[in-house]
């Protein structure tokens, strides 16, 4: 996109911009999940290192809650990936017979 003649062919440029946008929409959620999983691992390690029994129990509850949240987020991500094929954005006709 930084090439001087990039915008000389507007249709091609628009198609490439749309493709870049589509690829970013695939990559950004993966990066976000990676970051959140790394944060979760750090939280888990802190909970394991806690010496105070009450503080450790609280940290373990927080780890369990975060684990549940991340598991749901990963399941949602997997579903979105499953439904993000080449033709999944296309329109379709559906006929229901009863």
pLDDT tens per residue across span 11-26: 988 999 999 998 898 8
Query: Does the pLDDT value for residue 4 go beyond 80?
Result: no
Quick one: CA torsion of 45, 47, 48, 49, rounded to 10 degrees?
90
Task: Grade residue 44 by pLDDT with cuts at 50, 70 and 90.
Answer: very high
Query: How many whole angstroms separate alpha carbon 61 and alpha carbon 53?
Result: 12
Query: How many whole angstroms separate alpha carbon 97 and alpha carbon 60?
Result: 52
Task: Grade residue 76 by pLDDT with cuts at 50, 70 and 90.
Answer: very high
Can you point out the beta strands (E) in the chain? Answer: none
Please state whether the predicted TM-score (pTM) of the whole model is above 0.85.
no
Task: Grade residue 6 by pLDDT with cuts at 50, 70 and 90.
Answer: confident
Query: What are the sequence ranges of the domains in the chain?
Result: 10-82
């Amino acid at each position: 996109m930084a090439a001087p003649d990039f915008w000389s062919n507007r249709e091609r440029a628009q198609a490439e911009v749309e493709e870049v946008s589509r690829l970013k929409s695939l990559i950004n959620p993966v990066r976000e999940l990676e970051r959140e999983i790394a944060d979760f691992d750090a939280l888990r390690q802190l909970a394991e290192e806690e010496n105070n029994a009450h503080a450790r129990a609280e940290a373990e509850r927080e780890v369990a809650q975060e684990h549940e949240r991340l598991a749901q987020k990963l399941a949602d991500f997997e579903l979105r990936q499953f439904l993000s094929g080449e033709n999944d954005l296309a329109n379709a006709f559906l006929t229901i017979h009863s």
